[in-house]
Structure 1
Amino acid sequence: MTMAAAASASAAVPQGSPQVPEEAFVDLDKPDFKTFWNAFVWRFLNRNPARPTIAINWQFVLPTGGLSTDPQHIILLESFKTVVWGMLTNDAYGKKLKVGTLGSISGGIREAFRWFVWNGIKDFSQLTPAVQERYHNVLAQLILKREEVYPDFVAEGYGFGYHSPSLRSVLEEDLEEEDEAKVDDQAEDDGFTYSQVANRINIIYYIYAQRVLLQKRKLPALSRAPFKGRSGGEVTSGIVAHAINRIPALPQAVSIPMLAEVFRWVDEVGPEIRRAHFAFQNSKDGGRRAVMSAFAKLDAAGFSSERLAALPWRERNEGRIEGAEDPLAFGYHRMRLAVLMLRDACVLAVQYLAGLRISEVCSAKVLKDKVNGLPSCVYKMQSPDGMMDLYFLKGVLTKGQAEPKANDWVIGCAPYRSKELPVIVRALNLLHDVVTPFLDDDKEAPLFVHFKNRWGMPASADSVHQATGTDLQRGCRRFIRCFVDLSTLPDFDRHGNSLVRYRRTRGQCIRTHQGRKTFADFCLKTRKTALHALSLHFGHLTDSITYRGYYEPVQRLHDDVEMFGHSATVDFFVSRSEGKVVFGTMAAAVNDFLKEFKLEGIKDPAELRDKVTDIVITHDLRIYFNDNGNCLISMAPLKSRCQAAAGGPSWMHTRPNEKTRTVSMCGGCDCLALGREHLPFYETRAAAWKEAAQDRANRVAVRSYEQSRKIVRILKAPAYDASQPC
C-alpha cells in the first residue's frame, strides 16, 4: 500500500471508529502502511535496551475541545504524519532522524498542532512569516503559562503520578531516561530549557524539509524557508540562551549514605530476601500455611507489615492493594516490593561503582544456570601482572554506535584467587538467584526484570519482562526515598555544594546519569592518569569527550594550578639528572629513581625533559616545594611523618598534612629532599633560635637551632655529602 493510498484510506475512515487500531508496530525497512498508518499510536523498535520501544501518539486533546484525530483536523494530522515519516526515512533535512528522537519530536508536534488549531490554521500552506513570528513570540508563554494562552486547558498526564508538580521539573530535565512524549507536556515552574524551545521550533524546519514528500501526497506544504531564512539555533536563541547545564556528580554527603545502604542490602538484606523468595517459590503448591510461612521470612529482611506501613505513601497499604485486608494478599505485595527493591539496590551498585549507563545495565542477559559459579553475564580474568582477578560484565553498547555492539565492562577486582568477590559481583550473583525462577532452561533472558502486573508476584515467566530505563529509574528513586534518610542534610556541604534540593525532594531529584558522573568524578580525582582508561571504559571515541563531559570545570581549574607543581617537579628531576646534588633522607630514593628510569645517561636536554615529563604524569608524581625543603611524599607516602601524626599514612594520602606538619618534623622525615636553594631559610631560622637556645632547658629551641646549623653547614660545604641525614 502506497502513502497516497494510505492518505485516501485515512480520509475515508472516520477517526475514532472501531476499525481504527489503538496502536501498531512500524517496520521502517518494510513498511505496510495499511497496518499502521491510521493507528492512534505508532510504535517503533529501538536499539536502546533501556527504551526497547518508542511510541508517538497521534491522539491527544486540543484546547478547542475534541481530539487531534477528529475528522475536521484530518489534513493537519495527515501532514504531520507525513513529516514524521519523511524525517525517519529520507535525508531531505540533511540527515535521517533516529527513532530515539521521536519523544522530543512528538512534544513539538503536539505544541504546534494545538496552537495551529487554536489559531484556525488548517494546513501548512498557511504558515506565513507573520504566523511563524507569532508562534515564535508565544512559545515562552506556552511553556511557562499555558493556561494564559488556553484558558482552562490541561494537557494529558499533567499532575498525574510520577508527573506530579513536585517532580515535573526534575523529570523534564531527565529526557535520557524518562518518557519524553509524556514529560514534554509538563510546564516548569522556574523557567524553560534550550531543548524545550528547540523541540518546538525545529518542527517548523521539519515541515519545510519535507515539502516535496507533502506535495507528492497532494498535501499543502510550506514552500519558503521558515523564519526568513534564519537558522534554528538563531531562532531558538532569540527566546533562550543555549547554556550547557551538565549533570553534576552526586555530593559525598548524599552518595556516601546512599552507597552505605546499597552495601547493607547486598550483604545483609539481600540474602534474607533471597531465602524468603526461595521459600515462596517452593511453597506455592503447599497451600496457604506454607506460603504464609515464606512471607514470614521477609520480617528478617525488614519487610514486616509494621515496617512496610512506615514506608512513604506510594509503598504503603492505603486501600490501594486489592484484598489488602487479607494477610495472604498483603504478603504477595510485600514479596513483590522486596524483590524489586533488591533489583534497584543492584542497579545503584552497578551505576555508582562501575559507571554504566542505564541502557547498558538493561542490556545484561543471563542463562538460568551459572557459569563457574557466576551469572553467565559475568566472567573473570587474571590481570596481566598476575596479581589480581578482574571481573567483567557482558552487555551491549548502543551510545555512539550505528548498530548495537557487544561490549564488556570492568566491574571490580580482587587479589588473585581470593574468595572475596567485589560488591558488584556479589550484587549480580544475588539478583541472579532471585530471578532464576523466572528464567527458561535453555535461553538467555534479561537479568534486570520488571513485573507486568501492578500488585503481587508473577504467576509465570510470561508475567515478567525486561525492565526499561524508566522502570529502573523510578525504582532507584523509590529505594532512595524509602531507605536513605536525607532529611538532616545541611544547606551546603564543606565543599560548598548545595544540598537543599536533595533534602527537600528526599533524593527524588537524583538522576540515573549521576551514578556515571559520580564514578568518573571519583576516578579522575583519585588519579588523573586514569583518564584514558576511563575513556575506554565508557566507550568514548576520544579522551577529550571524557575530559570535557565528566571532569568538573572547577576541578579543571584546580588542575591548571596543579600543573605548576607538576612542571616544577619535572624541573627538579631534570636538574638532578643533570648533576645537581640534593641531600636528606630522600636523596637515596631520588638516586634510585634516576637509575630505574635510566635518566642519568640521557645527554639531549629536550629528550631528557620529554622522558621526565612522561614519567611524572604517568606515575602522578608531585613534589611539594617549600622554603624548608622539598616534600616527595608521593614517592614514599607510607614514610610521611605528618600523615602519621594525623592518624596514619596511606597510599591514598599523597599530600602533606598542613595541620600537623612542622619544620622540625619535616627535618626528620623520610620524604624530605634539600638543596642549596633552601639555605636562606635555615640561616634565618638558626639566627631566630640562637638566643633562645642558650637556655639548654629549652629543648625545642635547642633542637631547632642545632638542626638549622647542621643543615646550613652541610649546604655551605664546597661539595656536600648528599647521603647526610638532616
Structure 2
Amino acid sequence: MSKILIESNGEDLTPRSPYGLTENQLKDFPVSTLSVFGQMRWKFANRTPGAAACVSTIDWALKLEDGSSLTDKRHSTRLFWAKRFVLTLIVSPASGQAPSPGSFGRIQRNLTCLISWMSLHGLSEPCELNQKIIDLYIQELPTFLNTDPELTGESPYVDALTALIHLWNQRSALKKFGIKSLPAHPFKGLGAITIARSIAQKARGWIKPLPDEIAILILNKAASLLSAPAQDMSKLVKIFEDHEAGQIVSIDNGRGGTRSQVAGKGNAARINRMKRALNSFQFSKIEGDTDPWHQPLDEKYGDNAPHTSMRFTRLAQLWTAFRDACAIIILALSGMRMCELLGIKAGVDPTTGLPKGVRIERSVTGLFEWFVIRTQLSKGTNGFPKEVDWVLGMRPVGGSEIPIAVNALLFLNTLYAPWQQNASTDLLILGMEEVYGKLPTKSRILRGIYASTLTRSIKGFISSWVDFSKLPDNSKRLPGQSELVPWKKTGGVPFKPTALRKTWASFTIRCNPKLLPVIKMQFHHAQLATTESAYIGNNPLYQEVLDSVNVQFRNSMIYEMVFGTSTFSGQMGEQLKKEAKKLKKISKSLALTERWKTVADWCDANRLSFFFNPYSTCNPTRKGDMRCHNQSGTPIWLRNKPNFDNRSPQLCAGCKCGIIDASHKPFWSERYLEYSQILKDCEVSRSKDDNGFAVIRFRTDQARAVLRRMGEDVDAMA
C-alpha cells in the first residue's frame, strides 16, 4: 500500500489503511495534515507561492446542476461512494502517485459534472454506468456543459471524462470498501483526451445557427446603431478626446460677452469641459422618428436616479454598446471566429482609407471588387500558423459604397482612437478595464481583450438593446420545441460566438428577407463568394462551417418531410416524400430527440447531400438526370454537386434532382408577379411568335405551376 504523500514539502503522514475500519473509525481517518475523512471540507496544504486555497480543497457540499447539494439526504448514496473514491486516490492510487495538493479543485470539478449528470438521469452508483449509459453521457456532454468549444477547446470535456477513467482504475480499491465500480473500461481502452477531442470536434457541428427570429433582431439592431447613431457616437468620442486642452478657447465672461483664455490641461479642467459638453449634447433623430434615438446623457431616469455623475457612466455604456455592435457585425457577416477578430491590427491606411489589413481585389469574372482581410490561423494547423482570407464584402467594379463589415472595422478604430497611442499592443480591440463603470483615462495603458470578456459583453448588449418579448415561443426551424423561450426569459444568456459563424453560413445558404437591406446584401455577396471567389475554398474554416450548417439544414428539411405539414414539390421532392412516409412508420412512436437522431442517421446512411438555392434545393443522387450537367456534358463520375455556372430557375424547377419547399416561395412569388406583369405589358405590342414573348410566357407559366403545387392561390396574387 502507498503512503499518503500529499504535502508539497514531501511530509509523510503515518501510513494507515482505511480499509476494514468501522464508520466511526473512518470518520477520524486523516486525509491530510489539515482534514479528516468525516469533515465536509477536505483541505490540503499547498505551499506553492500564490496558489489559491480553492485549488487545494474539496467541498463535499458541492452544488449540482439541479441546484441541490451533494450533502442533501437524497444524495447520500452518491456522497458515500464519492468520498471513498477520492480517498482511494489518496491512499492507494492505481498510478502509484497520489494527487498533488493543487489538483483537488479539479478533482471536485470532475466529480461535480459526473454526479450532476447521474442525478439528472436517476443514477446513484458507479456500477450503473454501463457502456450504453456512458455513450449517452458522451453524446449529451456538449449541451449539458453548455460550452463553446471554439473558446474552451476540449478541456471542459477532459474534466468531465476524467472521473470515469479514475473510477475504472480504482475499481480494486473501491471493492475493498464494498463499492462496485464500472463494469468495463468507459472508453474501450481510449484515453479521456482522445474522447474529449472527438466530442469538441462534433460539438462545433452540434452548435446550431441562431434561430432566424433571434438573428434578425440582433443583426438589425447592431446594423441600425452603425448608421446615423454612429455619427453621434463619433462626436462623443471627440468630446472624450478633449482636443481643446492647451488651446485658446472662448468662454462666457459673465457680462453677456466672451473672453479668450487657454484651456486647462489638468484633470479637473478636462472633466469640467466634458461635463458641459455632455450635458448639452443633443442626440440626432433617425429618419422617420419624431424623437432622438437616445435620451440626453444628463437626463434623470426615474425619481430616485442620481442626476449628476451618471453622464460618464452612460457614455461608457454607450461606447461599449457600439463596440459590441461592431463585433457582432464583423463576426456574423464575415464568418470569422472570435480569435481571428481579436487578432486584427489597429489603424487605417492613409492611402486607401481602409482599415489596416483590408485590401480590394478584382473577382475572377472582373465584374466585382472583393473587400478581403487576411488573418493568421493557428488552430487546426498543427501549431504552424497559416494565413487565410476573409471576405468582408463586395461591390460592382466602379462602385463607391463601403460594405457594412468594413465600416464596422473603421468605426472600431474611431472608438479606440483615444487609447491606441498608449496601448501596449497593436491590436485593434482592447480591454477597457473600466473604473467604477466609467471609461479609462487616455493615459491608461491598455492591452488586448480576452475572448471571454468580449463574449460576456456581447451577451450584455443583446440583453440591454434587443427586445425578444414579442416573439412566439416556437421558432419556425424547430416547431414545438420552445426554442425561443430561453431568449425571451434571459436575453443574451444563450448566446455563443460560434453561433454567429453558423448564422453566417445559414444566411449565406438561404438569406432571410426580413433582414435589413444592408445586411441582406452582404449575405447575397457571401453567397456569390462561395462559387465566384476562390477565398471560400482556400479557407478551411469557411468550408467547415458551411458543411456543418448544410447538414443541419438537410436534416431539418427531411424531418419536416417526415413529421411536418409543409408542402414539397419538384421531382426529387416527390420521391423523398415517399421515402419519408416509410421513415415515419418506424419512428413516429419515438421521443423527439430519438426522432431527430433517426432522421439524421437515415440521411447519413443514404449519403444525402443538399445544395441550397433561393429557387430550388439540389439533391444530386440521380446523376444521369442532372440538367445543369447534361447541358455541359459533364462525365457522370464528376457529378457530385450541381454545375453552379449552369444552374437557373428554369433548369432546376423541372430537374429530377430538384426539391422546392416553403423557403423558395418568396423567389417564385416575386418571379411570377414580375413576369406576369411583363406579359400583360407585352401582349399588345409583341407578336405571339416572338421568341422574347415565348420566354416570358414560359417563365410565367412555370412560376404559376410551381406556386400551385405549393398550394398558393395564384389567381389572387395577380
1:291 aligns with 2:286: no
When residues 556 and 198 of structure 1 are mapped into structure 2, their CA distance, relative to the original with a 3 A threshold, is: farther
Query: Which residue of structure 2 lines up, in the alignment, with residue 493 of structure 1?
Result: 475
Contact kept, 8 Å, 1:439 with 1:461, in 2: the verdict is: no
CA distances 1:606-645 after superposition (whole Å, capped 9, x unpaired): x665688877355434635669x99999xxx9xx996344
TM-score scaled by structure 2? Answer: 0.54
Q: In structure 2, how many angstroms separate the alpha carbons of the residues matched to 1:298 and 1:619?
A: 55
User: What's the CA shift for 1:549?
Assistant: 6.2
1:38 aligns with 2:48: yes
Q: In structure 2, how many angstroms separate the alpha carbons of the residues matched to 1:228 and 1:426?
A: 59
1:433 aligns with 2:393: no
Query: Which residue of structure 2 lines up, in the alignment, with residue 508 of structure 1?
Result: 493
Contact kept, 8 Å, 1:353 with 1:411, in 2: the verdict is: yes
Query: Which residue of structure 2 lines up, in the alignment, with residue 523 of structure 1?
Result: 508
User: What's the CA shift for 1:395?
Assistant: 2.6
When residues 198 and 370 of structure 1 are mapped into structure 2, their CA distance, relative to the original with a 3 A threshold, is: farther
Contact kept, 8 Å, 1:625 with 1:631, in 2: the verdict is: yes
Q: 1:267 pairs with 223, 227, 230, which one?
A: 227
Query: Which residue of structure 2 lines up, in the alignment, with residue 482 of structure 1?
Result: 464
User: What's the CA shift for 1:264?
Assistant: 0.9
When residues 508 and 620 of structure 1 are mapped into structure 2, their CA distance, relative to the original with a 3 A threshold, is: farther
Q: In structure 2, how many angstroms separate the alpha carbons of the residues matched to 1:632 and 1:8?
A: 67
1:539 aligns with 2:540: yes
User: What's the CA shift for 1:307?
Assistant: 8.0
User: What's the CA shift for 1:554?
Assistant: 2.0
Query: Which residue of structure 1 lines up, in the alignment, with residue 433 of structure 2?
Result: 452
- Secondary structure in 1 aligned to 2:696? coil
Q: In structure 2, how many angstroms separate the alpha carbons of the residues matched to 1:440 and 1:486?
A: 40
Query: Which residue of structure 2 lines up, in the alignment, with residue 63 of structure 1?
Result: 59
1:230 aligns with 2:196: no
Contact kept, 8 Å, 2:424 with 2:446, in 1: the verdict is: no
Q: How many residues align?
A: 483
Contact kept, 8 Å, 1:280 with 1:295, in 2: the verdict is: no
Contact kept, 8 Å, 2:94 with 2:169, in 1: the verdict is: no
Mapping for residues 154-193 of structure 1, pairs under 5 Å: 172-176=145-149
When residues 667 and 448 of structure 1 are mapped into structure 2, their CA distance, relative to the original with a 3 A threshold, is: same
Q: 2:296 pairs with 291, 299, 304, which one?
A: 304
1:464 aligns with 2:479: no
1:141 aligns with 2:115: yes
Q: In structure 2, how many angstroms separate the alpha carbons of the residues matched to 1:233 and 1:444?
A: 47
Task: Name structure 2 gaps, 5 residues minimum.
Answer: 1-5, 13-31, 35-45, 63-77, 99-107, 125-141, 172-180, 246-264, 285-292, 512-526, 559-572, 574-607, 611-616, 678-691, 706-714
Contact kept, 8 Å, 1:411 with 1:424, in 2: the verdict is: yes
Q: 1:378 pairs with 352, 358, 368, which one?
A: 358
User: What's the CA shift for 1:516?
Assistant: 0.2
Q: 2:92 pairs with 102, 112, 125, which one?
A: 125
User: What's the CA shift for 1:466?
Assistant: 1.1
Contact kept, 8 Å, 2:529 with 2:535, in 1: the verdict is: no
Name the aligned partner's letter for residue 499 of structure 2. Q
Name the aligned partner's letter for residue 294 of structure 1. A
Query: Which residue of structure 1 lines up, in the alignment, with residue 396 of structure 2?
Result: 415
Q: In structure 1, how many angstroms separate the alpha carbons of the residues matched to 2:377 and 2:697?
A: 46
Query: Which residue of structure 2 lines up, in the alignment, with residue 672 of structure 1?
Result: 698
When residues 494 and 341 of structure 1 are mapped into structure 2, their CA distance, relative to the original with a 3 A threshold, is: same
- Secondary structure in 2 aligned to 1:670? helix
CA distances 1:426-482 after superposition (whole Å, capped 9, x unpaired): 111011012112113899622112212342121245442211111111111111111
Contact kept, 8 Å, 1:63 with 1:118, in 2: the verdict is: no
User: What's the CA shift for 1:227?
Assistant: 6.2
Contact kept, 8 Å, 1:368 with 1:436, in 2: the verdict is: no
- Secondary structure in 2 aligned to 1:393? strand
Identity of paired residues, percent? 14
Q: In structure 2, how many angstroms separate the alpha carbons of the residues matched to 1:463 and 1:57?
A: 31
Larger Rg: 1
CA distances 1:139-170 after superposition (whole Å, capped 9, x unpaired): 74355669x999xxxxxxxxxxxxxxxxxx98
When residues 137 and 518 of structure 1 are mapped into structure 2, their CA distance, relative to the original with a 3 A threshold, is: closer
Contact kept, 8 Å, 1:458 with 1:464, in 2: the verdict is: no
Q: In structure 2, how many angstroms separate the alpha carbons of the residues matched to 1:197 and 1:15?
A: 29
Contact kept, 8 Å, 1:276 with 1:298, in 2: the verdict is: no
Name the aligned partner's letter for residue 400 of structure 2. K
Name the aligned partner's letter for residue 466 of structure 2. V
Contact kept, 8 Å, 1:570 with 1:612, in 2: the verdict is: no
When residues 537 and 499 of structure 1 are mapped into structure 2, their CA distance, relative to the original with a 3 A threshold, is: farther
Query: Which residue of structure 1 lines up, in the alignment, with residue 340 of structure 2?
Result: 360
User: What's the CA shift for 1:206?
Assistant: 10
When residues 473 and 64 of structure 1 are mapped into structure 2, their CA distance, relative to the original with a 3 A threshold, is: closer
Q: 1:616 pairs with 643, 649, 668, which one?
A: 643
When residues 371 and 123 of structure 1 are mapped into structure 2, their CA distance, relative to the original with a 3 A threshold, is: farther
TM-score scaled by structure 1? Answer: 0.53
Query: Which residue of structure 1 lines up, in the alignment, with residue 105 of structure 2?
Result: none
Contact kept, 8 Å, 1:227 with 1:235, in 2: the verdict is: no
Q: 1:387 pairs with 332, 353, 367, which one?
A: 367
User: Which moves more between the two structures, 499-508 or 520-529?
Assistant: 520-529
When residues 540 and 476 of structure 1 are mapped into structure 2, their CA distance, relative to the original with a 3 A threshold, is: closer
- Secondary structure in 1 aligned to 2:496? coil
User: What's the CA shift for 1:511?
Assistant: 1.2
Q: 1:333 pairs with 306, 313, 338, which one?
A: 313
CA distances 1:364-421 after superposition (whole Å, capped 9, x unpaired): 1124775521221322223343332221223331220214434331111122242210
